[in-house]
Chain A
Amino acid sequence: MATPGATTLSDDTGPIPPALRGILPVLLALPVLALAEWTLGASPFATYLLSVVGVNIILAVSLNIVNGMTGQFSIGHAGFMAVGAYIAGVTSLSLKEIGIPGVPVAVSDQLLFVEALLAGGVSAALCGFLVGLPSLRLRGDYLAIVTLGFGEIIRVFVQNTEAFGRALGLSGIPQYSSVAMVYFWVFLVVLVARRIAGSSHGRSLWAIREDEVAAEAMGVDTTGYKVRAFVISSFFAGIAGGLFAHFVPIINPGSFTFVKSMEIVVMVVLGGLGSTTGAIVAAIFLTLLPEGLRSLFGAMGAEGSLAQKVDQIRMPVYGILLVVLMLARPQGLFGTKELWDVLPRWLPRKKKGLT
Chain B
Amino acid sequence: MSQLLQHLINGLASGTIYALVALGYTMVYGVLKLINFAHGDVMMVGVYMGYATAFALGREAQRSLWGVVVIFAVAMGGCALLGFLIERFAYRPLREKPRLTALITAIGISFALSYGFQLDIGFLPGASPRAFPEVIVPTEWFIVGDRDVVVWNWQVISFLIAVSLMGALQFLVYRTRFGKAMRAVSWDHRTAALMGIPTDRIIALTFMLSSALAAGAGLLYAIKDTSVSPLMGLYVGLKAFVAAVIGGIGNVPGAVVGALLLGLVEEFVVGYAASTWRDAVAFGFLILVLLVKPGGLFGRVAAEKV
Bound Cα distance A269, B107 (Å): 12
Secondary structure dominating the interface of A: helix
Interface positions of A from 14 to 73, Cβ below 8 Å from B: 71, 73
Bound Cα distance A312, B124 (Å): 13
Query: Would you call B113 an interface residue if the criterion is a C-beta within 8 Å of the partner chain's C-beta atoms?
Result: yes
Minimum distance in angstroms from B26 CB to a CB of chain A: 13
Interface residues on B, range: 35 or more
B contact residues around A160 at 8 Å (CB): 274, 276-277
Query: Would you call B227 an interface residue if the criterion is a C-beta within 8 Å of the partner chain's C-beta atoms?
Result: no
The residue that B109 contacts in the complex, of A153, A156, A323, with Cβ under 8 A, is A323
Are the C-beta atoms of B35 and A144 separated by less than 8 Å?
A: yes
Query: Would you call A327 an interface residue if the criterion is a C-beta within 8 Å of the partner chain's C-beta atoms?
Result: yes
Give the most central of A212, A316, A325: most B CB within 10 Å: A316
Q: Select from chain A the residue with minimum beta-carbon distance to B127.
A: A312
Interface positions of B from 238 to 282, Cβ below 8 Å from A: 238, 241-242, 245, 274, 276-277, 279-280, 282
Contact with A along B100-141 (1 / 0, CB 8 A): 111111011111110110110000000000000000000000
Q: A134-B294, A319-B113, A326-B94 given as contacts; is B103 within 8 A of A140 (CB)?
A: yes
Are the C-beta atoms of A73 and B110 separated by less than 8 Å?
A: no
Q: A148-B238, A156-B277 given as contacts; is B109 within 8 A of A141 (CB)?
A: no
Q: Select from chain B the residue with minimum beta-carbon distance to A314.
A: B115
Query: Would you call A340 an interface residue if the criterion is a C-beta within 8 Å of the partner chain's C-beta atoms?
Result: no
Contact with B along A122-138 (1 / 0, CB 8 A): 00000000010111011
A contact residues around B280 at 8 Å (CB): 152-153, 156-157
Query: Would you call A176 an interface residue if the criterion is a C-beta within 8 Å of the partner chain's C-beta atoms?
Result: no
Q: Select from chain B the residue with minimum beta-carbon distance to A135.
A: B290
Minimum distance in angstroms from A141 CB to a CB of chain B: 5
Q: How many A-B residue pairs have CB under 8 A?
A: 127
Are the C-beta atoms of B108 and A323 separated by less than 8 Å?
A: yes
Number of chain A residues whose Cβ lies closer than 8 Å to a Cβ of chain B: 47
Minimum distance in angstroms from B124 CB to a CB of chain A: 9
B contact residues around A140 at 8 Å (CB): 99-100, 103
The residue that A319 contacts in the complex, of B100, B108, B291, with Cβ under 8 A, is B108
B contact residues around A134 at 8 Å (CB): 287, 290-291, 294
Query: Would you call A196 an interface residue if the criterion is a C-beta within 8 Å of the partner chain's C-beta atoms?
Result: no
Contact with B along A280-318 (1 / 0, CB 8 A): 000000000000000000000000000000001101101
Minimum distance in angstroms from A19 CB to a CB of chain B: 37
Query: Would you call A145 an interface residue if the criterion is a C-beta within 8 Å of the partner chain's C-beta atoms?
Result: yes
The residue that A149 contacts in the complex, of B102, B116, B286, with Cβ under 8 A, is B286
Bound Cα distance A319, B282 (Å): 25
A contact residues around B284 at 8 Å (CB): 153
Minimum distance in angstroms from B190 CB to a CB of chain A: 17
Q: Select from chain B the residue with minimum beta-carbon distance to A159.
A: B276
Are the C-beta atoms of B105 and A327 separated by less than 8 Å?
A: yes
Q: A144-B35, A160-B274, A323-B90 given as contacts; is B283 within 8 A of A150 (CB)?
A: yes
Bound Cα distance A71, B306 (Å): 18
Q: A144-B35, A156-B279, A316-B119 given as contacts; is B108 within 8 A of A138 (CB)?
A: no
Are the C-beta atoms of A142 and B290 separated by less than 8 Å?
A: yes
Give the most central of B94, B118, B280, B291: most A CB within 10 Å: B280
Query: Would you call A321 an interface residue if the criterion is a C-beta within 8 Å of the partner chain's C-beta atoms?
Result: yes
Contact with A along B73-114 (1 / 0, CB 8 A): 000000000000000001001100111111111011111110
Query: Would you call B234 an interface residue if the criterion is a C-beta within 8 Å of the partner chain's C-beta atoms?
Result: yes
The residue that B35 contacts in the complex, of A141, A214, A265, A315, with Cβ under 8 A, is A141
Bound Cα distance A92, B60 (Å): 61
Bound Cα distance A134, B295 (Å): 12
Query: Would you call A100 an interface residue if the criterion is a C-beta within 8 Å of the partner chain's C-beta atoms?
Result: no
- Give the B-binding residues of A (Cβ under 8 A): 71, 73, 75, 131, 133-135, 137-138, 140-142, 144-146, 148-150, 152-153, 156-157, 159-160, 212-214, 258-259, 262, 265, 269, 273, 312-313, 315-316, 318-323, 325-327, 330
Pairs A–B under 8 Å by Cβ, sample size 9: A137-B290, A144-B37, A145-B241, A156-B276, A319-B115, A323-B112, A325-B104, A326-B101, A327-B90
Given contacts A138-B290, A144-B107, 12 further A-B contacts (CB under 8 A): A73-B103, A75-B107, A133-B291, A134-B290, A141-B34, A157-B280, A160-B277, A213-B304, A214-B306, A265-B107, A322-B107, A327-B90
